[in-house]
Amino acid sequence: MSEQDQFDDIPGTYLFDRHRSRQGYHLNMFFFSLMKEENREAFLADEEGYLDRFPMTPEQRQCVLDRDWLRMIKLGGNIYYMSKFGATLGRSFQYMAGAMSGVTQEEYAAMMKRGGRSIAGNRSKSEGN
């Protein structure tokens, strides 16, 4: 198996490699801009207008407006950049984690408290281990 195939064989993770970095450049630079208070204010006051400053694709723009966290990742977003967007909306890593894995924040936090997501069954799609 090539290294790329090995990455793709891991379930539910999205390696921030050259493909996603190029695809997600403007999306991530939008997230990064939210490090500044004046930009957070400008975004919250006029989301559509603020997003016009960043030449992202219509799909990327829509998932920002929809708060579709998993789709942001699938379209080239990186979690550390995306966390700035979460913070702007008052959302924690745990909130985004719940949203990305399809459960509520409370359900997700309860799973973590029980010891986290088991590695068993989560290593490889092809081997199912």
Partner 1 sequence: MARIVGGLATSHVPAVGAAIDLGKTQTDHWKPLFDGYEPAQQWLARVNPDVIVLVYNDHATAFSLEIIPTFGIGVAEHFPPADEGWGPRPVPTVEGHAELAWHLSESLIFDEFDMTMINEMPVDHGLTVPLSLTCGKDSRCEAPERWPHRVVPISVNVVQYPPPTGKRCYDLGRAIRKAIEAYHEDLSIVVYGTGGMSLELHGERVGLINREWDTAFLDDLTRDPERLQSIPFIEYVRETGAEGIELVMWLIMRGALGDDARELYRHYHIPASNTASGLIVLEPAA
Q: Where along the sequence are the contacts to partner 1 (CB under 8 A)?
A: 3, 6-7, 10-18, 21, 25, 28-29, 31-32, 34-37, 40, 70, 73, 78-88, 92-94, 97, 100-102, 108, 111-113, 115-119, 122-124
Structure tokens at 89: 């909306």
Minimum separation from the CB atom of position 46 to partner 1 (A): 19
Minimum separation from the CB atom of position 65 to partner 1 (A): 19
- CA dist 17 and 23 (Å) reads 10
Count of alpha carbons within 13 angstroms of residue 128, beta-carbon side: 0
* C-beta separation of 15 from 74 below 8 A: no
Minimum separation from the CB atom of position 22 to partner 1 (A): 10
* C-beta separation of 84 from 32 below 8 A: yes
Nearer to partner 1, 7 or 55 (CB): 7
Nearer to partner 1, 55 or 123 (CB): 123
- CA dist 13 and 56 (Å) reads 23
The 10 Å Cβ neighbour count of residue 5 is 9
Nearer to partner 1, 66 or 80 (CB): 80
Minimum separation from the CB atom of position 12 to partner 1 (A): 3
